[in-house]
Structure 1
Amino acid sequence: MSLLTPWFLAGLGLLSVPIIIHLTHRQRSTVTAFPSLMFLRKLPFKTMNRRRIRHPLLFALRCAALALLAIAFARPFFDAMGDVEGEAARDVVLLVDVSASLAYGDRWDAALDSARAVLDGLREGDRVAVASFDEQARERLPLSLDPAAARSALEELSPVDLGTRIEAGLQLAGRILSESDRRTREVVLISDFQRTGWEDGGRVRLPDGVSLRTASVAGEEAANVAVAEAAIRAAGGERVRLVARLANMGDEPVETLPVSLEIAGRTVATLPLDMPPRGAGTVVFEDIALPEGRSRGRLTVPGDGLSIDDVFRFVAAPEAGLRTLILENNRGNEERSLFLERAFGIGDSPRIDASRVSATRIDDDVLAAAGFAVLNDGDLTDAGRSGRLRDWVSEGGGLLIVLGSNTSMDRWSDAGQGLLGGTPGQLVDAGGGRRLSWLDYDHPVFELFSAPRSGDFSGARFHRFWELEPAPGTNVLARFDSGEPALLEHTIGEGRVLVWTSTLDRYWNDLALQPVFLPFVHRLALHATGYREPERWIEAGGVLELAGLVGAAVGGSEWVLVDPGGDRRPLEVGEEPTWIEFPETGFYEVAARDDADRAVTVAVNASITESDLVPVATERVIEAVAGATPAGPAGDGGGTEDGTGDGETDPRRAELWWLLLLAAALVLGVESVLANRWARRRPASALTNA
């Protein structure tokens, strides 16, 4: 028999209470006053007799009740199958964390030592399975009676470059043991218990009857500096500016940390950086000249306990920018496009190169050089120009139509009317001004402004705008406070058309004077063209589609993948899309065997979450997964804790606390009945003695 809470046995000290009561209690008798003695002098008279227990049965009952209560709160239990089966064979799943953070310091050696200690503690007849987990879980050895096979599977493990997901490992361990019919089943979880790997861990539970033991290899303090990101921004001409972001994951400040930039194998510059504890820092490398094409770039810092995040790899290539045409009205008013042109000229992510063209000069050559066009207060009465613009949009171009005073939609050609995506109405003179009262903040154009203090459109006043009734398939993205549409969107073929029913200058509204104007115009351009910043790097474990990666048809060629170690693997190309997984950090190369010019470099880095080494308390894991408070050290690996998988009780044991409480209640009931009865039958001498 064992006790869950043995400290409650200290309550047995309360047995002294009945002894004290019985040895010090005096029988108090009723005092009767006699008038004939009232004038006599009262002399004190004392006698001392040896105390004795007058009612030994009541004394025994009271002591027994207190003893039963103390033992009941100590939670005694014994195995349902008796002590003979206490050494029954077990099924054990050895679950080992192999994520990137286990490479920090000597954590991996400590994890192996803990795993070997578990194997050393196996008894004859015990079965053991070996499983590992990072972002996914894998069974390395099914339940086996062969400890040597388990040791061999354990020695084949090593830390990988992927993140941590403790939940995935526990789910696999639960599935393995759910197929076992043995009475004793347990999971031994060996990990550094990264907090970032347990953010969604409360959703998994082990099967009933499965216990959980944990062995943490996390140290008390872990200093680590990680290179988190590299961003390339245009700096004018062919020059770029590279912004490096770093994170200090330790509790001590970092001073004058040298950060080096390497392009195409050559160190370009090294700059110092200071960072506060648990803080971040930014280093800006100005006026960098990039080689033509795609070059390999690296940001490095001096090595520390975790080397995987001391190097950040990226693909450096000059950004082409977004070619934009501002199609002006036929009257050539230069001021109408001034705010648009200057707004496009500000910003470097991406760079937007805007040029003005008269709307009468719309032809295939002009449109072919652009990815985005703004028809700014122009008209499309000419069917030929309207048709060419529509064809350009259908092939993937992005168009923004800005309606103004020179827009004569009633005279537009049918092709021009089709570009509107709605039925034109009247010009609205709003007098005192309308305001934007509704914006679709879930849409990519306005998503940027959805957070608090990220931009307010309600400050702009609109004095004039055009009515436009949306056609089926046209979405309204913004409305005035009177209900009329302000911004509409629809698609034509592969392209997208946005329609703004007022001007983008100071004539009909003052939006151009608001702080939101610049980011709003940029979001319109990026969304209309479907622009995405080039993939300069991906996280380890990511996947890319071959055709999207090489930007061309993949049929008719044999493709190979060269990993960071130089090993070559052929890629199977069929009718279905070919997906490529990148599990290691480093530079990969995807190339066609018959055309060396079609080779593409992919930079892969570890997830920044692996750099945060702060652990979660193992008690939280046990309580969430097994549903019980840990019972204390288990003695297998130093710092090992234990819990069961069935809430407060384990179906394999029988607990006696409720029987003891019932017995204590019965004893107290009997004691009360006897005490009341004997109190009414006091000896007759009590009156005389008084």
Structure 2
Amino acid sequence: MAVAGPILFHLIRRSTRQRKEFSSLMFLKPTPPRVTRKSRLEDLWLLLLRCLVIAALAFGFARPFLRDNTATTGPDKRVVLLIDNSASMQRAGLWPKALDEAKATLEGLGKKTEFTVALYNDATKQITGFSQSTNQPPNELAKTALADLKNAKPGWAATHLDDALAAARDWLGEAEGRGGATPKRDEIILITDLQRGSRQQNLVGMDWPESGPRVIIRTIAPNTAGNAGLQLVRKRGTALDPFAPPRVRVVNDAQSIQSNFQLGWQRAGETNLANAATLTVPPGDSWALTAPKMPDQNSTWQLVLAGDTQPFDNRLHLAPLEPEQFRIHIFTSEPKNDTATLRYYLKRAFLERSLQKFELFFHAPDVGAIALDDPRDRLVVITDPLNAPTTAAIR
């Protein structure tokens, strides 16, 4: 538009005619004036020079807004691929389907797409990072990631979906400073079974950028629908009874075809349930209850929910309760069986309990150097004055 200005002014400009003095015109023969076209351009070199000056000024002011796309080395898009490897992914057919979906996703990425692959359960672990994407060709990096995924397997941990999304958001934010893709084109791809019970409450207060990234969920369905799970609500033991059974919750999936289950105790390697209780939990419902009483406290038992077609989350492992041991050192010169002395009552004060065992050691006040470096040495009782070596030893 600016270049059109000199052309417009050049066309409407009128040439100034010079005035000349002349004698009388009465002897001249009148002739009609010659008509010339006003659109005829004059002084073409001057017009061209003016246009070039305007164009150079316009180009100079436009340089900050012009970018050389060939000089941009950043990616067109960044992708975080999150793959669920929590305990629910141990259901039949889920993990192979997740690997196939991951392979298809990585193969479908563009050549200028920078990506990272991570596994998540109760913790999120990167397999490949964005920095590796810039140093290796995308196809080679995808092959490396798929090889690492084939060696990985689902574990027994819970699903913390909120932590995984927060980690992916932070990775994209750190990579944004290297240039290239804008947040609107960044993506977080979730490959998961969306098992009921995954932790999502931290998503409510999460600071998520308004401009992105976009979250894409690719749900993997198991071969057999439905699942019942056993969750610990309260650990065993109370203030009155340290061996009280725990409180648990049985959750039955809405698509489950089972509603009748048995809850009981089982030793490792055995199949029979001890102290089993029958319970009915309709599909889509949950039931909190106190577990049956443990058969004994000296063995390692597992609380088992029987009757579910997906047994991956039907066991709670409870270690036996070990009593805490205390060593009490008493420095006294009082006689053993004198009912009027403190020693007599101290010996009867520390009685064994279900989860506490006491061992009493009596020493003479002048015993001298004595080692009190055992972790079980919890208390020292002194009834008589000590000599200097004994005092220095117990400090």
Q: Aligned-pair distance for 1:138? A: 0.5
What is the CA deviation profile of residues 506-546 of structure 1, one whole-angstrom value per residue up to 9, with x for unaligned ones?
xxxxxxxxxxxxxxxxxxxxxxxxxxxxxxxxxxxxxxxxx
User: Which amino acid counterpart does residue 131 of structure 1 have in structure 2?
Assistant: V
Q: Aligned-pair distance for 1:221? A: 6.3
Q: Please name the residue that 2:34 is paired with.
A: none
Q: Please name the residue that 1:388 is paired with.
A: 390
- Given that 1:188 and 1:213 are in contact with CA atoms closer than 8 Å, whether structure 2 keeps it comes out as yes
Given the superposition, is the C-alpha separation of residues 112 and 250 from structure 1 closer, same or farther in structure 2, using an over 3 Å criterion? same
Q: Are positions 1:137 and 2:139 aligned together?
A: no
Q: Please name the residue that 2:353 is paired with.
A: 347
Q: Are positions 1:153 and 2:139 aligned together?
A: no
Given the superposition, is the C-alpha separation of residues 207 and 95 from structure 1 closer, same or farther in structure 2, using an over 3 Å criterion? farther
- Given that 2:77 and 2:113 are in contact with CA atoms closer than 8 Å, whether structure 1 keeps it comes out as yes
What is the CA deviation profile of residues 122-167 of structure 1, one whole-angstrom value per residue up to 9, with x for unaligned ones?
5x55525241132133043654875685376345353234453322
What is the CA deviation profile of residues 540-583 of structure 1, one whole-angstrom value per residue up to 9, with x for unaligned ones?
xxxxxxxxxxxxxxxxxxxxxxxxxxxxxxxxxxxxxxxxxxxx
Tell me, in whole angstroms, the C-alpha distance in 2 between the residues paired with 1:334 and 1:98. 68
Which runs of no fewer than 5 residues in structure 1 stay unpaired? 1-87, 233-240, 291-296, 394-491, 493-690
User: Which amino acid counterpart does residue 352 of structure 1 have in structure 2?
Assistant: K
Larger radius of gyration: 2
Matches within 5 A, 1:47-196: 90-104=77-91, 106-109=93-96, 111-112=98-99, 114-115=101-102, 118-119=105-106, 122=109, 125=111, 127=113, 129-134=115-120, 135-140=123-128, 142=130, 143=133, 146=138, 150=142, 153-154=145-146, 156=150, 157-163=152-158, 164=160, 165-166=163-164, 167-176=166-175, 178-183=177-182, 184-191=185-192, 192=194
User: Which amino acid counterpart does residue 285 of structure 1 have in structure 2?
Assistant: P
Tell me, in whole angstroms, the C-alpha distance in 1 between the residues paired with 2:333 and 2:202. 56
- Given that 2:365 and 2:384 are in contact with CA atoms closer than 8 Å, whether structure 1 keeps it comes out as no
Q: Give SS of 1:375's match.
A: strand
Given the superposition, is the C-alpha separation of residues 182 and 171 from structure 1 closer, same or farther in structure 2, using an over 3 Å criterion? closer
Higher relative contact order (Cα pairs below 8 Å, separated by 6+ residues): 1
User: Which amino acid counterpart does residue 84 of structure 2 have in structure 1?
Assistant: D
Q: Please name the residue that 1:372 is paired with.
A: 378
Q: Are positions 1:312 and 2:317 aligned together?
A: yes
Q: Please name the residue that 2:302 is paired with.
A: 299
User: Which amino acid counterpart does residue 117 of structure 2 have in structure 1?
Assistant: A
Given the superposition, is the C-alpha separation of residues 374 and 93 from structure 1 closer, same or farther in structure 2, using an over 3 Å criterion? closer
What is the CA deviation profile of residues 582-624 of structure 1, one whole-angstrom value per residue up to 9, with x for unaligned ones?
xxxxxxxxxxxxxxxxxxxxxxxxxxxxxxxxxxxxxxxxxxx
Given the superposition, is the C-alpha separation of residues 131 and 283 from structure 1 closer, same or farther in structure 2, using an over 3 Å criterion? farther
- Given that 1:136 and 1:168 are in contact with CA atoms closer than 8 Å, whether structure 2 keeps it comes out as yes
Q: Please name the residue that 2:295 is paired with.
A: 285
Tell me, in whole angstroms, the C-alpha distance in 2 between the residues paired with 1:194 and 1:279. 19
Given the superposition, is the C-alpha separation of residues 121 and 327 from structure 1 closer, same or farther in structure 2, using an over 3 Å criterion? same
Instruction: Report how many residues are paired.
Output: 282
Tell me, in whole angstroms, the C-alpha distance in 2 between the residues paired with 1:198 and 1:308. 19
Which runs of no fewer than 5 residues in structure 2 stay unpaired? 1-74, 254-258, 280-285
Tell me, in whole angstroms, the C-alpha distance in 1 between the residues paired with 2:353 and 2:290. 24
Tell me the C-alpha RMSD between the 2 structures: 5.0
Q: Aligned-pair distance for 1:181? A: 0.6
TM-score by length of 2: 0.51
Matches within 5 A, 1:186-585: 186-191=187-192, 192=194, 197-201=199-203, 202-203=205-206, 205=208, 209-217=212-220, 222-225=227-230, 245=246, 247-251=248-252, 256-262=262-268, 270-273=274-277, 277-281=287-291, 283-286=293-296, 288=298, 297=300, 299=302, 301=304, 302=306, 305-307=310-312, 310=315, 312=317, 321-327=325-331, 330=334, 332-333=338-339, 336=342, 344-345=350-351, 347-349=353-355, 351-355=356-360, 357=362, 360=365, 371-375=377-381, 378-380=383-385, 382-384=386-388, 387-391=389-393, 393=394, 492=395
- Given that 1:330 and 1:358 are in contact with CA atoms closer than 8 Å, whether structure 2 keeps it comes out as no
Tell me, in whole angstroms, the C-alpha distance in 1 between the residues paired with 2:104 and 2:358. 65
TM-score by length of 1: 0.32
Tell me, in whole angstroms, the C-alpha distance in 1 between the residues paired with 2:214 and 2:116. 16
What is the CA deviation profile of residues 194-217 of structure 1, one whole-angstrom value per residue up to 9, with x for unaligned ones?
766445454454595533333455
Which stretch shows the higher mean deviation, 129-138 or 221-230? 221-230
* Percent of residue pairs identical: 16
Tell me, in whole angstroms, the C-alpha distance in 2 between the residues paired with 1:249 and 1:311. 12
Tell me, in whole angstroms, the C-alpha distance in 2 between the residues paired with 1:367 and 1:210. 61
Tell me, in whole angstroms, the C-alpha distance in 1 between the residues paired with 2:95 and 2:178. 30
Given the superposition, is the C-alpha separation of residues 146 and 366 from structure 1 closer, same or farther in structure 2, using an over 3 Å criterion? closer
User: Which amino acid counterpart does residue 133 of structure 1 have in structure 2?
Assistant: L
Tell me, in whole angstroms, the C-alpha distance in 1 between the residues paired with 2:108 and 2:93. 23
Tell me, in whole angstroms, the C-alpha distance in 1 between the residues paired with 2:80 and 2:371. 67
- Given that 1:92 and 1:129 are in contact with CA atoms closer than 8 Å, whether structure 2 keeps it comes out as yes
- Given that 1:188 and 1:212 are in contact with CA atoms closer than 8 Å, whether structure 2 keeps it comes out as yes
User: Which amino acid counterpart does residue 378 of structure 2 have in structure 1?
Assistant: F
Tell me, in whole angstroms, the C-alpha distance in 2 between the residues paired with 1:121 and 1:348. 62
Given the superposition, is the C-alpha separation of residues 260 and 174 from structure 1 closer, same or farther in structure 2, using an over 3 Å criterion? same
Tell me, in whole angstroms, the C-alpha distance in 2 between the residues paired with 1:254 and 1:126. 54
User: Which amino acid counterpart does residue 347 of structure 1 have in structure 2?
Assistant: R
User: Which amino acid counterpart does residue 95 of structure 1 have in structure 2?
Assistant: L
